Amino acid sequence: MKRLCFLCQSETEVIFSTTWVLPGLAPREIGFSVCPECGSVCQSPSVSFDEMMTFYSSMAVYTNPGRQEKPTDAKVRDLDEQIQFIRRGIGYLPNSALQIGSSDGYTLSRFRDAGVKRVLGVEPGTASVELAKRLYQIDCIHDSAEQFETNEQFELIILTHVLEHLYQPQMTLKKCRQLQQLPTEGFIYVEVPLMAKPASLCPGFFSFEHINYYTRDNLVRSLTDAGYSVVSLVEHYNSNLSPIIGVLASTRPQSHCDEFVANVVGNRAILQDYRAKEVAYWQGCLDAILPQLQQSKRIFLWGAGIHTSQIVANTTLLADCKINGLTDTSSLKWGLRQGDWHCQAPDSIDWQPGDCVLISSYASEKEIFDALLWLRDIGVTTLRLHNVDDTRSH
């Protein structure tokens, strides 16, 4: 499906597209486009909203091997900073907070521990809602950002790594503003991946789940158009998997940021340069391990999901090798079809010496590799595609 610009609703221009073998969905053309009016970049063509909601409900999980459902050190660090950033920008922490896209509940638990009295989440993922209640006793509205309803008003609304996922992010921001019709000042904290220079962007930056892409300028305009004014901004380029920008904004007028200027030419160039860099990167990773793959008895891909889609879309893997199966530790994925394979439970496979497992994940690659010692002990080769130990994931 073709999408209009998420910021100004203009028709968009496709810069590149390719066929993705998506988990639980038929192969689909996925592309990335630029708006010729405001310069914003979005995923288009894309899957439909209902198909994306099916993906989140069935595929989005927040448990990882070796971590026992605990947050990463980077996540703990990022929450330390977010809480301090908001406290410094406002002067205090508000009494009530709503988080849209509350994931496993860890973020809200930290704000509660810091002194916020009333916390509530909004989360579409079934597994995540259950985790939030079980791990942190956080209550969540089990619904999407677009469809949830509440009669409460909140002094602080938090959207960390959410706007890039939404089909109509401006509607959600305006909905947030309606939940802050307070006699006192209300605040919103938004954090998203920052579309910076191609050299700053990680492999897979233009991904399936991320359908909107933000620069500093269009993020400020997004908040301004929804009735907010920027109080504070922070940008990080090296501390996370991808560059990020965080913005604290107020319901009261401020005059800190310049007027929005469209950068159509610059953003088009970022997409074009990144695409060439991305294909060369993925193919180079495959070429480095191709001799080992081709000497294996059978090959299984580890990880039903987007990185498996990306290696299929961006390399010659299927032309160079026969892939015998797909496996994953998440029971939610067992039985799901992705391309020519159905995802199997690891312990349902009759592993044999000489088999090979190729880990497709980027952010969790080292974590998965360390957890697969039991396969190496029985003679199964486990190969890392990216070989990056420190992905600094958020």
Mark whether 183 and 98 lie in a shared domain.
yes
CA distance 124 to 71: 20
270, 274, 275, 276: CA torsion to nearest 10: 120
69, 75, 76, 81: CA torsion to nearest 10: -160
Judged against a pLDDT cut of 70, whether residue 77 lies above it is answered with yes
Q: How many domains does the chain have?
A: 2
Q: Is residue 326 part of a domain?
A: yes
Q: Which of 137, 130, 133 is closest to 57 using CA atoms?
A: 130
Mean pLDDT of the chain: 92
CA 2 and chain centroid, separation: 21
pLDDT bucket at 148, cuts 50 / 70 / 90: very high
Mark whether 258 and 294 lie in a shared domain.
no
Tokens of 180: 């802050």
| pLDDT for the residue 37 | 97
Mark whether 248 and 295 lie in a shared domain.
no
Q: Which of 278, 263, 269, 202 is closest to 15 using CA atoms?
A: 269
Cβ atoms of residues 131 and 105 within 8 Å: yes
Percent of the chain with pLDDT over 90: 74
The stretches of the chain forming alpha helices (DSSP H) are 49-59, 73-90, 106-113, 126-136, 169-178, 216-225, 264-294, 306-314, 317-320, 365-371, 373-377
CA distance 152 to 182: 11
CA distance 384 to 120: 39
Q: Which of 305, 315, 242 is closest to 18 using CA atoms?
A: 315
Q: Is residue 184 part of a domain?
A: yes
Tens digit of each residue's pLDDT (9 = 90 or more) over 111-132: 999 999 999 999 988 888 999 9
Mark whether 334 and 200 lie in a shared domain.
no
Q: Is residue 390 part of a domain?
A: no
Judged against a pLDDT cut of 70, whether residue 51 lies above it is answered with yes
Q: Is residue 10 part of a domain?
A: no
Helix, strand, or coil here: 136? helix
Tens digit of each residue's pLDDT (9 = 90 or more) over 240-279: 889 999 999 999 999 898 889 999 999 999 999 999 999 9
Cβ neighbors of 303 (< 8 A, separation 6 or more) are 328, 359, 360, 361, 368
CA distance 147 to 178: 14
Give the domain CATH number at 79: 3.40.50.150
Judged against a pLDDT cut of 50, whether residue 66 lies above it is answered with no
pLDDT bucket at 64, cuts 50 / 70 / 90: very low
Give the domain CATH number at 362: 3.40.50.720
Among the listed ranges 163-172, 190-199, 330-339, which one has the minimum average pLDDT value?
A: 330-339
Mark whether 201 and 104 lie in a shared domain.
yes
Among the listed ranges 59-68, 70-79, 88-97, 230-239, which one has the minimum average pLDDT value?
A: 59-68
Tens digit of each residue's pLDDT (9 = 90 or more) over 298-326: 999 999 888 899 999 899 999 999 999 99
Query: Which residues span the domain enclosing 213?
Result: 73-262
Beta bridge partners of 191: 160, 246
